[in-house]
């Protein structure tokens, strides 16, 4: 049993409608785990195969996420090649809710403001036309870059800046913003007991003082008629309703919006009269603790400029990007700019990127050869080496090893398993020298 701080226990007992005794009993149960499939990659056949390999006979869908499913605590989906090919993301079920309920449609420009490690980014990118994913920490933002690459995202920029700095570049620009704010993490005590000691050192009041300025910056970047989803993984009314109240009191053109299906899903309503907000209690739903408040900026959205697909060059690197005039004018330093196609090497010629391999659709990786444009006039081609899904060479490749191949193959090859690209290699003399990036290698 987790040893909880005495002040936290008293706070939980004082929460209206929280049924604290049931909550404390829930801490003795298993941690809820989830898997969220990539709808751009994983079709019904792929999903069935994953469930079969995990010995899950009757997969149960997460009610608030079409692509989310529950995974028993003893399963290890990260050990399947499907994970390396970006077919799914491992995510706690409640954490799938904020991006699911943020209204986003095709053509929208979306901001994930406090995005690390990038799970919600991979979810939002499926709905947005252009997505900016940010975290104030550069080291954490690099984790977003890797997850964006694994998921094969081509419409996503990654930055590591303060919310105030971003607001200087994107005034009234975004149609929808997710603020999954830094918080005291009370809802994740069962999942990560280290958060308990962190809570004792830095409690709800300190996080509240961080959250309100973040929301203020988000407001500056939101269009009229746009939405902000504010979410935390804590139970604290100071950080939840208190932060929302403080924000709304200084922004009269913002109003709470209804999150559909709250009662049917088992979400509790917000406190202090904020009935439209949602509290996700782990003893009411199958998920850990979360809070959501959806807010809309009054007014009508004005038509925005066109989002264009362009080739972009930076030094020897070649990108394909989704962009518009605002992004083009920005002087921000991007850690990721759309899709890195590859780079020019003085000795090797054009070298395709791992990001490109993972961005390929099944239809693109199903033939005998791949041809990709990297400028408006230039392209490169490479044969595709198809491996059977049970081929032991898949694991060896993912571990960074050289593998044996047909002696007749030579030059750069794309490796694919069941038409899912997993990476590149260079063939010579019946062997494939591994080009799998160091940061991806299985250990």
Catalytic residue among 114, 233, 278, 419: 233
Backbone φ and ψ for 329, nearest 5 degrees, come out as -80, -15
Residues 289, 188 contacting (CB under 8 angstroms): yes
Query: CB neighbours of 296 closer than 8 A, spacing ≥ 6?
Result: 225, 226, 227, 254, 255, 256, 257
Q: Cα dist. 406→321, 386, 413, 430 in Å?
A: 36, 12, 12, 5
Work out the number of other CB atoms within 10 angstroms of the CB of residue 201.
7
3-state secondary structure 249-318: HHCCCEEEECCCCHHHHCCEECCCCCCCCEEECCCCCCCCCEEEEEEEECCCCCCCCCCEEEEEEECCEE
> Exposed, middle or buried, 311 (CB in 10 Å: 0-12/13-18/19+)?
middle
H or E element, residue 182: none
> CA-CA-CA-CA torsion for 164, 165, 171, 175, nearest 10 degrees?
-80
CB-based contact 416:361 (threshold 8 Å): no
User: What is the rounded CA–CA span in Å between residue 17 and residue 15?
Assistant: 6
- CA dist list (Å): 299 to 172, 222, 225: 12, 11, 5
Q: Which of 245, 246, 254 is nearest to 226 (CA)?
A: 254
CA neighbor of 81 nearest in space, from 398, 438, 362: 398
Active site residue 183: no
Non-local (6+) Cβ contacts of 321 within 8 A are 309, 310, 311, 312, 337, 338, 339
| Residue-wise DSSP of 66-126 | TTEEEE-TT--GGGSHHHHTTSEEE--GGGGHHHHHS---TT-EEEETT-TT-HHHHHHTT
124 within 8 A of 110, measured Cβ to Cβ: yes
SS3 33: strand
Could you list the active site residues?
233
């Amino acid at each position: 049993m987790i040893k909880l701080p005495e002040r936290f226990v008293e706070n939980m007992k004082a929460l209206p409608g929280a049924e604290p005794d049931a909550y404390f009993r829930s801490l003795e149960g298993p941690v809820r785990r989830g898997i969220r499939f990539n709808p751009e990659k994983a079709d019904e056949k792929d999903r069935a195969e994953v469930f079969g390999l995990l010995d899950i006979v009757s997969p149960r869908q997460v009610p608030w996420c079409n692509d989310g499913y529950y995974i028993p605590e003893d399963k290890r989906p990260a050990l399947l090649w499907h994970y390396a090919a970006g077919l799914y993301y491992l995510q706690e079920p409640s954490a799938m809710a904020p991006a699911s309920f943020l209204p986003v449609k095709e053509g929208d420009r979306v901001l994930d403001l406090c995005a690390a490690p990038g799970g919600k980014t991979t979810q939002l990118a499926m709905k947005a036309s252009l997505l900016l994913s940010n975290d104030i920490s550069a080291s954490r933002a690099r984790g977003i870059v890797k997850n964006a690459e694994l998921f094969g995202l081509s419409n996503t920029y990654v930055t590591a800046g303060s919310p105030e700095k971003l607001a200087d570049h994107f005034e009234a620009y975004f149609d929808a913003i997710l603020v999954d704010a830094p918080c005291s993490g009370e809802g994740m005590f069962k999942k990560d007991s280290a958060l308990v000691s962190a809570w004792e050192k830095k409690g709800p009041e300190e996080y509240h003082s961080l959250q309100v300025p973040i929301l203020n910056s988000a407001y500056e970047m939101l269009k009229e008629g746009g939405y902000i989803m504010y979410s935390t993984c804590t139970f604290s009314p100071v950080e939840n309703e208190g932060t929302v109240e403080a924000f709304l009191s200084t922004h009269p053109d913002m109003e709470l919006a209804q999150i559909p299906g709250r009662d049917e899903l088992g979400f509790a309503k917000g406190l202090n009269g904020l009935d439209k907000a949602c509290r996700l209690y782990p003893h009411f739903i199958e998920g850990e603790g979360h809070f959501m408040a959806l807010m809309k900026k009054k007014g009508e959205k004005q038509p925005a400029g066109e989002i264009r697909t362009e080739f972009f060059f930076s030094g020897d690197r070649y990108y394909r990007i989704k962009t518009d005039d605002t992004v083009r004018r920005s002087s921000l330093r991007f850690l990721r700019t759309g899709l890195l196609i590859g780079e020019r090497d003085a000795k090797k010629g054009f070298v395709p990127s791992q990001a490109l391999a993972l961005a390929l659709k099944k239809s693109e990786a199903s033939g005998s050869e791949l041809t990709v444009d990297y400028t408006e006039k230039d392209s490169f081609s490479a044969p595709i080496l198809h491996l059977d899904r049970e081929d032991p060479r898949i694991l060896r490749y993912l571990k960074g090893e050289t593998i044996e191949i047909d002696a007749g193959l030579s030059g750069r090859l794309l490796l694919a398993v069941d038409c899912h690209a997993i990476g590149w290699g260079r063939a010579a003399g019946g062997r494939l020298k591994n080009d799998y990036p160091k940061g991806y290698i299985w250990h």
